[in-house]
Structure 1
Amino acid sequence: MTKAKRRIIFCDFDGTITVNDNIVAIMKHFKPDGWDKLVEQVISKEVSVREGVGRMFALLPTSRKKEIVDYAIGNVKIREGFEELLAYCEREDILFLVTSGGIDFFVYPVLSGFPIPQEHIYCNGSDFNGSHIRILWTHACDEHCGNDCGMCKTTIIRSYPAAEYERILIGDSITDFAGAKLVDTVFARAHLIDLCEELSLNYKPFETFHDVITHLEEMNAR
């Protein structure tokens, strides 16, 4: 008898676990010169996510570290149903990973109140030792990805082979596009819905994590 594949969820952070995009919120609040042009260049793919985000944070002086960190953490609103989804995954033995293009100084503190082991949280690092913030790319692209992601979600997805795992992605935007093409099922909102429609990917739309739980239960019933 064939062994059933274990379900694994790769869940985005900014705009998915959180209601808002924290990187954009930080830039809008502190308004360093040139940040808006960099955002446009990332969205239009004129520059890579790694280059764009790195250059954005390099505009912020480390002398404002406390302000920036306090704002980033205090500005976060968690999407409804997140705690219930984690409890559901625990009950159903679904492996839940956070795969975030966000930065450790706000991702880790925000998620510290939830039962997610830190080794299951993938995000970018930060260095406040110089005059300006430097982003550390601790999860770079493997040889199969040429997108210069910074935090490469497809590299992480590939480390959980399709032969052993039923792979599910939850996300909303540009950093989830490549990963959505690899997995069995996508739970999508915002810009990711457009991509899933365009490529005819297997997806379900969601607004809250209660919707995700409903979709997972429907998958169980098949």
Structure 2
Amino acid sequence: MNKKRIIFCDFDGTITTSDNIIAIMKEFAPPEWEEIKDQILAREVSIQEGVGALFSTLPSHRKNDILQFLLERAVIRDGFEEFVAYTRNEDIELKIVSGGIDFFVYPLLKPYGLEDHIYCNGSDFSGDRIRITWPYTCDAQCTNGCGCCKPSILRTYSDDYFKIVIGDSVTDLEAAKVADQVYACDDYLINQCEELNLSYKRFESFHEIIEQLEQQKEVAT
């Protein structure tokens, strides 16, 4: 019996062509953000700890400025609108799993009607500094301090599903390890998939993923 396909798609650097958190920090954060970023990439601090520290450098009153900046600058990857339509037509569940923050993820995805399909980090602007909240933290099988823990989200769906992960970076690697199929659009995730012998396909636009999904209709068993 064919398994039901479900797609878990990253947001920053995947749906958008660049990382929105990095764009925010370059535009609004004081210089110390660079050191925090380097600590995250070197895995000296967890993603949860690092992202929380990054946003704590920003005053809460800049929320609207930050959001307007992203609404004007963020670029949606080619073919995404068609991809969303395709998943609906084919009755493929599509979940957005993002290490991004709710106050910009939801507005940027609003045109696509995906509000009920988003997993991402939360935010609190009640204090002087932006505080990030974590509604989707790691389960008992993950100790990485992911923030929005993608593999934990995948594990809430049974093996009756054929699990497809679409992503680009370090935040997608652990999800890729528990996926049945991976689509990667950045050398980091591609290199990791090759090193770990994970099944992956490279893509530049979502049109390519649509083509692959069409070809795989009879494969996801």
- TM interval, short-chain normalised: over 0.9
> What CA distance in whole angstroms lies between the structure 2 residues aligned with 1:22 and 1:65?
14
Match of 2:67 in 1: 69
Question: Which residue among 126, 130, 147 is the counterpart of 2:127?
Answer: 130
Question: Which residue among 80, 83, 95 is the counterpart of 2:81?
Answer: 83
> How many matched pairs?
218
C-alpha contact 2:138 2:147 (8 A) present in aligned 1: yes
Displacement after TM superposition at 1:87 (Å): 1.1
> What CA distance in whole angstroms lies between the structure 1 residues aligned with 2:74 and 2:199?
30
Match of 1:51 in 2: 49
C-alpha contact 1:33 1:59 (8 A) present in aligned 2: no
Match of 2:117 in 1: 120
Percent identity between the aligned chains? 52
Match of 1:209 in 2: 206
Displacement after TM superposition at 1:67 (Å): 1.1
Residue 120 of structure 2 corresponds to residue 102 of structure 1: no
Q: SS state of the match for residue 16, structure 1?
A: coil
Displacement after TM superposition at 1:70 (Å): 1.3
Q: SS state of the match for residue 154, structure 1?
A: helix
Match of 1:26 in 2: 24
> What CA distance in whole angstroms lies between the structure 1 residues aligned with 2:152 and 2:106?
21
> What CA distance in whole angstroms lies between the structure 2 residues aligned with 1:128 and 1:201?
40
CA offset digits 1:163-212 (Å, max 9, x no partner) = x1000000000100000000100001211101111111100000100111
Question: Which residue among 131, 136, 152 is the counterpart of 1:155?
Answer: 152
When normalised by structure 2's length, the TM-score is 0.96
Q: SS state of the match for residue 166, structure 2?
A: strand
Question: Which residue among 181, 185, 192 is the counterpart of 1:189?
Answer: 185
What are structure 1's unaligned runs of at least 5 residues? none
What is the Cα-based RMSD across aligned positions, in Å?
1.1
Match of 1:8 in 2: 6
CA offset digits 1:121-152 (Å, max 9, x no partner) = 00011111100000011111111110000000
CA offset digits 1:2-45 (Å, max 9, x no partner) = 4x211000000000000110000000111323101111111111
Q: SS state of the match for residue 54, structure 1?
A: helix
C-alpha contact 2:7 2:93 (8 A) present in aligned 1: yes
After TM superposition, the structure 1 = structure 2 runs for residues 33-44 of structure 1, keeping only pairs within 5 Å, are 33-44=31-42
C-alpha contact 1:138 1:151 (8 A) present in aligned 2: yes
Displacement after TM superposition at 1:221 (Å): 5.4
When normalised by structure 1's length, the TM-score is 0.95
> What CA distance in whole angstroms lies between the structure 2 residues aligned with 1:31 and 1:43?
18
What are structure 2's unaligned runs of at least 5 residues? none
